[in-house]
Amino acid sequence: MRQAHTVAQVRAAEEQAIAAVGDEALMQRAATGLAVAVADELRRRRGHTYGTRVLLLVGAGNNGGDALFAGAWLARHGVAVRALPLAEHPHAPGLAALLAAGGRAVDLPGAVGFDADLLVDGIVGIGGSPGLRPDAQQAVEALAGVPVVAVDLPSGVAVDTGETPEPHVQAEVTVTFGTHKVATLVDPAAAACGEVRLVDIGLVLPDADVEALEAADVATLLPVPGRASHKYTRGVVGVRAGSRAYPGAALLCVAGAASGMAGMVRYVGPDEVDSRVRQRFPEVVGAGRVQAWAVGSGGDDEAAAALAAALGDDVPVVVDADALRHLHHRRGPSGLVLTPHAGELAALLGEPRGEVEGAPLRHARDAARRWGAVVLLKGPRTLVADPGGRVRVNSTGTPWLATAGAGDVLTGLVGALLASGLDPFDAASVGAWLHGAAASRAGRGGPLVASDVAHALPEIVGALASEV
Ligand SMILES: NC(=O)C1=CN([C@@H]2O[C@H](COP(=O)(O)OP(=O)(O)OC[C@H]3O[C@@H](n4cnc5c(N)ncnc54)[C@H](OP(=O)(O)O)[C@@H]3O)[C@@H](O)[C@H]2O)[C@@H](O)CC1
Ligand SMILES: [K+]
């Protein structure tokens, strides 16, 4: 599990670690990890490190200190290193180390004229407030186009929310220390990090509210049938999706539901859609008892009735698309999963779409609290929030997954996982993980359509199940 801690949690852990090993040792661990990552990036871009050129942007605090000590390490390994101080008193021991190793301080014209291969952003880290001060902003603009390795975080992002309300650095690589921060996992700040590398500096941390499942976590949560299982103990999922106008949504939602995670799939919908579903999926049966419902994908005007019928049964329900508009009342926190994209969540909350896209974590949590539901907010990094404030960020997927009908497959899959007995938070986050992984497998780096995702699901599940 990858966990993202808050600044307060990191500060508390830092105090403990400093009491044990001293602050110098801690900074040296961070700086050495940073230097190795910068050297890797130089090798990746230039094929070697010797004789390459690195420019450090150095702010007032320890983030600048990390950059300076890493610069000293690089200078000792044959890299030409210059530092552009953006504060009156940059970290004194770090600056002394850089100068002793052969690095030099420069002003902005000197920095631009240095023609660096890489910038190291040591302007601010977890001590920073969002935005860049004018001199930092001016430097970042003057050096635009030079690839950036960010120290701990890209400077200027909001660390604990992942929001980017002000100008900030855009990095190719972010080397973060001790643990992930919310900003390294959650968009839009995560998109400013580029590739994130975590350097272990020996912090002991509590459980975090924001986390990301990894393959091993998903394998552990996966509902795998035992020798005594039969179709009813594995769970029956009901699908009330699609409509006369959108019959394809029924097929895709059923394809997600029939990916093998539940023991049986029932479909309930308009006759002509029902016959198409049965033709395509002979294993699907009609109305009857279910352990979970998947409702709303392509539901059109029929979504309100489908939702009311599903909510009438005392089982968990995953609510998508057209059905979201008809959610008028709260249900208990245990039974409901909502799967909006940013536009649908904006409509639900009565806010502009841009607000949701700029602060997805806050809005997903707000909606989860308001509806007493698990909210799966679809996006480049899908978020799953529960009413208590816990959040899982999805790490799988491909930009090609932004394709018509992909959400319908996800709704069916989450329904099947609910029916199999996973709680709503696990069902939604495991569903999002499997869906993204299946899309990557199906597309193999290229385009895909929604039904490809459904077809790839059993292969992904099989690979995970054989690992446990
Ligand atoms: N925690 C750990 O375990 C470890 C932490 N380590 C490292 O320490 C970093 C935290 O260091 P930190 O506390 O010194 O704060 P930091 O981020 O350097 O910046 C604060 C200074 O920046 C300024 N400033 C504020 N906002 C600004 C803005 N928008 N734009 C420009 N400037 C701004 C503000 O200055 P002032 O207001 O005083 O002028 C303030 O003094 C952490 O991210 C990691 O890299 C590792 O070495 C070892 C283990
Ligand atoms: K930084």
- CATH number of the domain at 130, please: 3.40.50.10260
Find the ligand nearest to 177 CA: 1
Q: Is 71 annotated as a binding residue?
A: no
268 CB neighbour count, 10 Å cutoff: 21
Average pLDDT, the chain: 96
Number of domains in the chain: 2
Select from 5, 14, 26, 124 the residue to mutate for testing ligand 1; criterion: most ligand atoms less than 8 Å from CB. Answer: 124
Judge if 281 and 301 occupy the same domain: yes
Residue 64 CA, ligand 2 centroid: distance in Å: 8
Distance CA(457)–CA(402), nearest Å, equals: 17
- 185, 161, 162, 184: which is closest to 174 by C-alpha? 184
Window from 87-101, 328-342, 371-385 with minimum mean pLDDT: 328-342
The finding on whether 68 has its CB within 6 A of some atom of ligand 1 is no
Three-class secondary structure of residue 321 per DSSP: helix
Retrieve residue 212's tokens. 């990301």
Judge if 198 and 232 occupy the same domain: no
Average pLDDT over residues 310-324: 95
- 156, 213, 224: which is closest to 189 by C-alpha? 156
Q: Is 288 annotated as a binding residue?
A: no
Is 333's pLDDT higher than 50? no
Q: Which long-range contacts (CB under 8 A, 24 or more apart) does 214-221 make?
A: 214/1, 214/2, 214/395, 215/437, 215/464, 215/467, 216/467, 217/1, 218/430, 218/433, 218/434, 218/464, 219/464, 219/465, 219/467, 219/468, 220/468, 221/422, 221/426, 221/430
Q: Is 125 annotated as a binding residue?
A: yes
Looking at 177, 196, 211, which one is the last position of a domain?
A: 211
Q: Is 200 annotated as a binding residue?
A: no
Judge if 13 and 130 occupy the same domain: yes
Judge if 59 and 136 occupy the same domain: yes
Which residues are bridge partners to 236 per DSSP?
A: 264
Residue 192 CA, ligand 1 centroid: distance in Å: 18
Q: Which atom of ligand 1 is nearest to the CA of 153?
A: 43
Distance CA(111)–CA(138), nearest Å, equals: 12
Looking at 211, 232, 248, which one is the last position of a domain?
A: 211
Judge if 220 and 188 occupy the same domain: no
Does residue 467 or residue 426 have the better pLDDT? 426
The finding on whether 249 has its CB within 6 A of some atom of ligand 1 is no
Judge if 276 and 411 occupy the same domain: yes
Find the ligand nearest to 18 CA: 1
β pairing state of 383-385 and 374-377: antiparallel
The finding on whether 290 has its CB within 6 A of some atom of ligand 1 is no
The finding on whether 411 has its CB within 6 A of some atom of ligand 1 is no
Judge if 400 and 265 occupy the same domain: yes
Is 32's pLDDT higher than 90? yes
Q: Which long-range contacts (CB under 8 A, 24 or more apart) does 425-428 make?
A: 425/374, 425/384, 425/386, 425/390, 425/392, 426/221, 427/316, 427/318, 427/337, 427/374, 428/318, 428/337, 428/339, 428/374, 428/376, 428/384, 428/392
The finding on whether 125 has its CB within 6 A of some atom of ligand 1 is yes
Q: Is 131 annotated as a binding residue?
A: yes
Find the ligand nearest to 136 CA: 1
Is 332's pLDDT higher than 90? no
The finding on whether 225 has its CB within 6 A of some atom of ligand 1 is no
Is 330's pLDDT higher than 70? no
Q: Is 377 within 8 Å of 357 (Cβ atoms)?
A: no
Residue 355 CA, ligand 1 centroid: distance in Å: 28
Model confidence, pTM? 0.96
Find the ligand nearest to 57 CA: 2
Distance CA(122)–CA(61), nearest Å, equals: 9
Q: Is 152 annotated as a binding residue?
A: yes
The whole-angstrom distance between residue 311's C-alpha and the CA centroid of its chain comes to 30
Average pLDDT over residues 241-249: 96
Looking at 154, 176, 211, which one is the last position of a domain?
A: 211
- Among protein residues, the one with the nearest Cα to ligand 1's atom 45 is 63
Band (260; pLDDT cuts 50, 70, 90): confident
Select from 5, 9, 68, 126 the residue to mutate for testing ligand 1; criterion: most ligand atoms less than 8 Å from CB. Answer: 126
Average pLDDT over residues 216-232: 90
Residue 64's domain comprises 2-211
Distance CA(219)–CA(229), nearest Å, equals: 18
Distance CA(236)–CA(224), nearest Å, equals: 15
